Amino acid sequence: MIFALLGILAGIIVGWFVPFTIPIEFTRYTAVVILGIIDALLGAIRAQLTKDHYDPWIFATGLFFNIVLALVITLFGDVLGLDLYLAATVVFTFRIFSNVGIARRALFDLYLKKTHYLKSEEIK
């Protein structure tokens, strides 16, 4: 998990300093790929916080599958002349908010358990 976060941080730093522009024709593809990456990352964070079984291979394959599926849906929409990338955007956004909500709840529960434990220790 820490390696994924370090890799993302390194990618952000490199991307910040390397001048690279994306042609306007590829903005939809870029948007759905970024949402797919964020979805996979937040899913991994949620799995780590909720004590689900986090597996780096599941993270990597989920990340790859999200990216490929989003690109295929966007490409298929372009071939048909439809804005199918919006479907991928809606689904990824829903999953991102869902994962953030679950992770927030897990962090809040950990905070409550910690403060309750500290209060019970003070009483003794």
Predicted confidence (pLDDT) per residue in 54-74, tens digit: 788 888 898 899 899 889 999
42 within 8 A of 99, measured Cβ to Cβ: yes
pLDDT band at 10 (very low <50, low <70, confident <90, very high): very high
Integer CA distances (angstroms), 78 to 52, 73, 82, 83, in order? 37, 9, 6, 7
- 31 touches 58 (CB < 8 A): no
Hey, which bits of the chain come out as E strands? none
Give the predicted TM-score (pTM) of the model.
0.74
Q: pLDDT (tens digit, 9 = 90+) per residue, 22-46?
A: 888 888 999 999 999 899 888 888 8
